[in-house]
Amino acid sequence: MPDRSAPAQAFRAGLLYAVGAYVLWGVFPLYFLLMQPAGAFEIVAWRILFSLVFCAVLLTATRGWRPFLAIARQPRLLLLMGLAGLLIYVNWQTYILGTLSGQVVETSLGYFINPIVTVLLSVLVLHEKLRMLQWTAIGIALVAVLVLAVGHGSVPWLALVLAGSFGTYGLVKKHVGPRVDAVSGLSLETAWLAPLATVQLIIVAVLPGGIVFGTVSPLHTGLMLLSGVATAVPLLMFASATRRLPLAYVGFIQFVAPLLQFAIGVFVLHEPMPPERWAGFAVVWVAVLVLVVDMARAARR
């Protein structure tokens, strides 16, 4: 008789992987704040280099060098992974700059509107037809950005750059599809970025303050060294989740990360939340709710 419990076990495992990935991404602000007094540019540079080292270890442990080299020999795939690397660099650098400058709440806004930006990009780039509720979510999100811009006195560029860079990164990864596995993909992206990270460290070294890695404390050094692991683990958990869960479930769970980031920014770091900012976020959450309802209806169909 077929084992009817196998799909249920895979589903439960997928849920655990998805929740684990998004919880880790959600608490990233606290992790990166512990890396101070290192600056954002030094942190990102070490994150790239240590991620590349960790990926090399993973490729060796999983005997993944052959598929990795097969991908690297395809110029089109190689260039696409270079583009993905550039986009994720912009995302990482913007996110850590925002976190270290006391703008964790705004970084959470970027990941709240990221699914809406992804839907918009699918129209502009892939020429997909949207459902009415998707258009409604986009319209409400635009109103939210206007409310935040007027109330805060400036456009929330940090959130828009985060949402735009990660949304475009997702489009590139979708185009690549199953031809590139998670470990090979991150390996190629960080390999493309390694020269940039090296130059970034050289520049940091000659600036006032210099490089602080290895000079603060053993704990600080350990946290910096583990940044590669911290980058790769949630990504691998996410990849495992998407293989086991319907995409709609992953879509619902993705809001765990910005919710945690928002809570950390407001209740742990005590970032200012004047009424107009609450109003802007309330409108964003309405847009998110509309999108979630549309996703649920689409999943039922």
Q: What is the pLDDT of residue 181?
A: 86
Q: What is the pLDDT of residue 5?
A: 64
Return the domain boundaries, the chain. Answer: 31-300
Q: Which residue ranges in the chain fall short of pLDDT 50?
A: 1-2
Give residue-wise pLDDT tens across range 262-287. Answer: 999 999 999 999 998 999 999 999 99
Model confidence pTM above 0.85: yes
- CA-nearest of 186, 213, 254, 265 to 27 is 265
Distances (CA, A) of 103 to 15, 65, 98, 158, 264: 30, 40, 5, 9, 11
Q: What is the pLDDT of residue 1?
A: 44
Q: What is the pLDDT of residue 247?
A: 66
Distances (CA, A) of 270 to 11, 61, 205: 37, 43, 32
Cα 298 to Cα 301: distance, rounded to the nearest angstrom: 5
Report the half-sphere exposure of 288 (CA within 13 A, side-chain side).
23
Q: What is the pLDDT of residue 3?
A: 55
